[in-house]
Amino acid sequence: MTAKVGDRIIIESEKVGQPAREGEILEIIESPLGTRYRVRWDDGHESEIRPAAGSAKIVSAETAKTS
């Protein structure tokens, strides 16, 4: 998963009936344990996440602006 600051991230819910969570990537944090993202969610909260494989979708900032 390749992302840049400003891209959108969509995390699918693990619970049936719960909507996906969406937010803007504010920072990309590389470490020996993997890549983490600092995200500002659409509800205004911020958190650091390390998405599990297959649980996240990245939408580039350029694509989001033209949609």
In the prediction, which pLDDT does 64 show? 56
pLDDT digits (tens, 9 = 90+) for 8-35: 999 988 889 999 999 999 999 999 988 9
**Are the C-beta atoms of 20 and 8 separated by less than 8 Å?**
no
65: three-class secondary structure by DSSP: helix
Beta strands in 1-67 (DSSP E): 8-11, 21-31, 34-41, 46-49, 56-59
Residue that is written with structure tokens 């911020």 in the block: 46
pTM above 0.75, yes or no: yes
The residues spanned by each domain of the chain are 8-62
Does domain 8-62 fall under CATH 2.30.30? My reply is: yes
User: Where is pLDDT greater, at 1 or 10?
Assistant: 10
